[in-house]
Amino acid sequence: MNEKIILDEHLLKLTIHRLAQQLIEQHGNFENTAIIGIQPRGVYFADRIVQELQSLNGSDAITYGKLDISFYRDDVRHDGSIRSYESVIPFSCEGKKVVLLDDVLYTGRTIRSAMDAILSYGRPAKVELMVLIDRKFSRDLPIQADYIGQAIDSVVSQKVKVKWKANDQQDGVWVYSNK
């Protein structure tokens, strides 16, 4: 199995900083904005973005939640091995600008499920999507990210793995292939 590093620890840190700056440009003081990480892997990304936003803004006043989409997935009836996680959204999304965060945008099915799930917490005024990696040639659904860390060309047989120190003891993004 071949592996290729896409973002090393340094480049990942720069990418998170850039994405946080883009959010600040669009949302200012985050008064009516909520950041929501999609369980499980999007939460690691969202944690880092929120930390960076707090560092740049010098404030802890960012509305942040974690969303479980397990039972909103379109394959939940077909796959008995789906693991559920805890949603932690101690606020209403009614009328808020919601920024959903996930680590990799692949087929678009996770994001579709997240958009369905978020309605359980109110009807947002607007929903935006931030992803660390956009696998741009593999959509099943017409989903596009508003904020992209890095877009990559990859084929279906390749696997993209995002590693976070909080879970994997290292930061970085790799592409694995069987060639």
Report the pLDDT value the prediction gives residue 75, as an integer from 0 to 100.
64
Provide the pairing of β-strand 2-7 with 126-135. Answer: unpaired
Report the distance separating Cα 160 and Cα 173, nearest Å: 7
Does the pLDDT of residue 163 top 90, yes or no? yes
Of 35, 103, 44, 113, which Cα lies nearest the Cα of 73?
A: 113
Query: Which CATH number does the domain 10-77+84-153 belong to among 2.60.15.10, 3.90.1150.10, 3.40.50.1370, 3.40.50.2020?
Result: 3.40.50.2020
**Domain ranges within the chain, ordered by starting residue:** 10-77+84-153
Q: Which residues on neighbouring strands pair with residue 128, listed in sequence order? A: 99
Report the pLDDT value the prediction gives residue 61, as an integer from 0 to 100.
84
Q: What is the pLDDT of residues 65-93, one digit of tens each?
A: 999 998 887 665 555 566 778 899 999 99
Query: Residue 11 burial by CB count (10 A; 0-12/13-18/19+): exposed, middle or buried?
Result: middle
Inter-residue contact 173 to 161 (CB < 8 Å): yes
